[in-house]
Amino acid sequence: GAYYRFQYEPRHSIYASVIDLLRDPNTRDYSLYGAGPTPQAKGRFLWNESGEGHIFVTNLPSAPAGKMYAVWTIAQSSAPRYVGTITTDTVGQGGLHINTTSGSKVETFAVTLEPDGTTTAPTGPVVLASKQS
The pLDDT, as a whole number, for residue 121 is 92
Residue 8's pLDDT band (cuts 50, 70, 90): very low
pLDDT in tens, 76-95: 878 899 999 999 999 999 99
pTM of the model: 0.82
Sheet holding 81-86, edge to edge: 81-86, 67-75, 106-115, 126-129, 27-34, 42-48, 52-58, 94-99
